[in-house]
Amino acid sequence: MKFQSTNRDEPEINLIPFIDILLVVLIFLMLTTTYSKFTELQVNLPTADAQAPRDKPREVVVSISSDGRYAIDRQVLTETGVEALTRALAAAKPGDGEVVVVISADAAATHQSVINVMDAARRAQLVQITFATQQSSSGAGKGTRP
């Protein structure tokens, strides 16, 4: 008696078409999804009267040239010491309202010149200090303030 040999290939599941169909369904669901906001609780937010808009603080612009000369609001100072800067900043400060000192230093100005302006502003009780910068290569020439 002769038996047939059992060299049959075992059945396997081909997953490639299944994955293709799942990807198509996933793309379809992503495209047709509505992005609506669901809330679990209905909340009534409190209301408040709007405050009057704050006045824009006055800016005192201190320019520093590459050779260490100072100008406050476009008026060049003859003296370059910290005491002279303090007196000039105190004179430029109005009696009321906030004042922001904007330091506009040349890129070649020394760090000590900038420190002198910051020290003079502190002595004149001007605590809000910012620096004027300009955008790199693409916007060169347009000064921006942070």
Per-residue pLDDT tens digits for 73-121: 888 888 888 899 999 988 888 777 788 899 988 888 889 999 999 999 9
Of all residues in the chain, what percent carry a pLDDT higher than 90?
20
Of all residues in the chain, what percent carry a pLDDT higher than 70?
77
- Weakest mean pLDDT among 3-7, 8-12, 87-91, 101-105: 3-7
- Cβ atoms < 10 Å from Cβ of 109: 20
Q: Are 116 and 85 in contact (CB under 8 A)?
A: yes
Residue 53 CA to residue 71 CA, distance in Å, equals 31
The CATH number of domain 58-134, selected from 3.30.565, 3.30.70, 3.40.50, 3.30.420: 3.30.420
For the chain, give every domain's residue range: 58-134
The pLDDT assigned to 24 comes to 96
Band (21; pLDDT cuts 50, 70, 90): very high
Q: Per DSSP, which regions of the chain are E strands?
A: 58-64, 70-72, 75-76, 99-105, 128-131, 133-134, 143-144
Angle of helix 82-92 relative to helix 111-123, nearest 10 degrees, comes to 50
